[in-house]
């Protein structure tokens, strides 16, 4: 599953994932945004892995925010923007 979101005033966020047994798996977030430290991207993927597919964007954003803590700097992206990309990946094909 694939979802994209261009954050207003920010950058493109892409979420690729699968759903197995009602949970997110194989989560990979990417895009043209920047994170400091670079390892924060792995923290995002790990935080989303195993979450219920039925969780909403507010729950996804909260999990991302908690995983990153206060030491991570995000440029051109936010936990909410990542959550929108995840939700778009979960939408049924048109």
Tokens of 90: 């979960």
- How do residues 21-74 score in pLDDT, each as one tens digit? 999 999 999 999 999 998 999 999 999 999 999 999 999 999 999 999 888 999
Domain borders along the chain are 2-90
Q: How far is CA 91 from CA 36, 43, 44, in A?
A: 30, 24, 20
Residues 6 or more apart whose CB falls under 8 angstroms from that of 22 comprise: 52, 53, 54
Residue 4: its pLDDT value, please? 97
Residue 38: its pLDDT value, please? 86
Predicted confidence (pLDDT) at residue 94 exceeds the cutoff of 90: no
Residue 31: its pLDDT value, please? 95
CA angle 64, 67, 73 (to 5 degrees): 80
Predicted confidence (pLDDT) at residue 93 exceeds the cutoff of 90: no
**Which CATH superfamily includes the segment(s) 2-90?**
CO dehydrogenase flavoprotein, C-terminal domain (3.30.390.50)
């Amino acid at each position: 599953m694939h979802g994209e979101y261009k954050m207003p005033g920010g950058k493109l966020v892409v979420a690729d994932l699968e759903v197995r047994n009602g949970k997110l798996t194989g989560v990979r977030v990417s895009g043209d945004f920047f994170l400091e430290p670079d390892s924060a991207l792995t923290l995002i993927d790990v935080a989303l892995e195993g979450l219920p597919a039925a969780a909403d964007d507010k729950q996804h954003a909260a999990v991302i925010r908690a995983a990153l803590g206060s030491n991570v700097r995000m440029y051109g992206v936010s936990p909410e923007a990542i959550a929108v990309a995840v939700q778009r990946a979960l939408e049924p094909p048109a």
